[in-house]
Structure 1
Amino acid sequence: MNSLHAPAASSAAASADVAAHSLFTPLDGIIGAETDRLDLSRPLDDRTVEAVRTAFRDHHLLVIRNQSLDKERMYRFAELFGPIEGHMIRLSDGSKWDAVHTITNLDAGGNPVAKPFISSNYFWHTDKSFLREPSLLTMLHAVELPPNGGDTQFADMIAAYDALPEDTRRRIDGLKSVQSLEFMRRYTGSAPPTEDDIVAAPPIAHPLVRTHPETRRKSLYIGMYSSHIEGMSEEEGRALLEELLEHATQDRFVRTHRWRHGDLVFWDNRCLLHRATANYEMGKHRRVLMRVVVKGSVPE
Structure 2
Amino acid sequence: MTTTTFAPATELIRAERLTANLGAELFDVDLAEVARDDALFAEFHALLLRHKVLFVRDQPISRADHVALAERFGTLEDHPVLGCDPDHPGLVRIYKDLDSPPEHYENAFHCDATWRQNPPMGSVLRCVEGPAVGGDTIWVDMVAAYERLPENVKERIAGLRARHSIESTFGAAMPPERRAELHQRFPDAEHPVVRIHPETGEKALFVNSFTTHFTNFHTPENVRFGIDYAPGAADLLQYLISQATIPEFQVRWRWTPNSFAIWDNRHTQHYAVQDYFPGVRRMERAGIAGDRPF
State whether structure 2 residue 183 is matched by structure 1 residue 198.
Answer: yes
1:268 alignment partner AA: D
State whether structure 2 residue 24 is matched by structure 1 residue 33.
Answer: yes
Structure 2 length as normaliser, TM-score?
Answer: 0.85
2:179 alignment partner AA: T
Which residue of structure 2 aligns with residue 240 of structure 1?
A: 236
How far apart in 1 are the matches of 2:181 and 2:29?
Answer: 42
User: Contact 2:142/2:204 (CA < 8 Å) preserved in 1?
Assistant: yes
Deviation string for 1:249-292 (max 9, x for gaps)?
21111211111222110111111111110122x22x22111111
Which residue of structure 1 aligns with residue 206 of structure 2?
A: 221
State whether structure 2 residue 70 is matched by structure 1 residue 78.
Answer: yes
Question: Aligned runs of 1:120-135 on 2, under 5 Å?
Answer: 121-135=106-120
How far apart in 1 are the matches of 2:24 and 2:145?
Answer: 19
What fraction of aligned residue pairs are identical, expressed as a percent?
29
Mark the runs of 5 or more structure 2 residues left unpaired by the alignment: 218-228
Instruction: Give the counterpart of 1:144 among 114, 126, 129.
Output: 129
Look up the SS of the partner of 1:122 in the other structure.
coil
Deviation string for 1:208-247 (max 9, x for gaps)?
0000111111010011110100133344322111111223
Look up the SS of the partner of 1:279 in the other structure.
coil
User: Contact 2:13/2:27 (CA < 8 Å) preserved in 1?
Assistant: no
How far apart in 1 are the matches of 2:42 and 2:19?
Answer: 24
Shift of 1:199: 1.6
| Residue 20 to residue 245, structure 1, CA distance change in 2 (3 Å) | farther
How far apart in 1 are the matches of 2:32 and 2:180?
Answer: 40
Q: Which moved more, 1:62-71 or 1:269-278?
A: 62-71
User: Contact 2:79/2:92 (CA < 8 Å) preserved in 1?
Assistant: no
How far apart in 2 are the matches of 1:243 and 1:21?
Answer: 41
2:40 alignment partner AA: T
User: Contact 1:136/1:269 (CA < 8 Å) preserved in 2?
Assistant: yes
How far apart in 2 are the matches of 1:255 and 1:26?
Answer: 10
How far apart in 2 are the matches of 1:126 and 1:207?
Answer: 14
Deviation string for 1:138-165 (max 9, x for gaps)?
2210111111110111111100100011
Q: As a proportion of its length, which structure holds more helix?
A: 1
Query: What is the aligned residue count?
Result: 273
Instruction: Give the counterpart of 1:18 among 4, 9, 15.
Output: 9
User: Contact 1:124/1:274 (CA < 8 Å) preserved in 2?
Assistant: yes
Structure 1 length as normaliser, TM-score?
Answer: 0.84
Shift of 1:46: 1.2
| Residue 205 to residue 234, structure 1, CA distance change in 2 (3 Å) | farther
Shift of 1:35: 1.1
Which residue of structure 1 aligns with residue 281 of structure 2?
A: 287
How far apart in 2 are the matches of 1:17 and 1:60?
Answer: 15
Which residue of structure 2 aligns with residue 47 of structure 1?
A: 39
RMSD across aligned C-alpha pairs, in angstroms?
2.3
| Residue 237 to residue 190, structure 1, CA distance change in 2 (3 Å) | farther
Look up the SS of the partner of 2:72 in the other structure.
helix
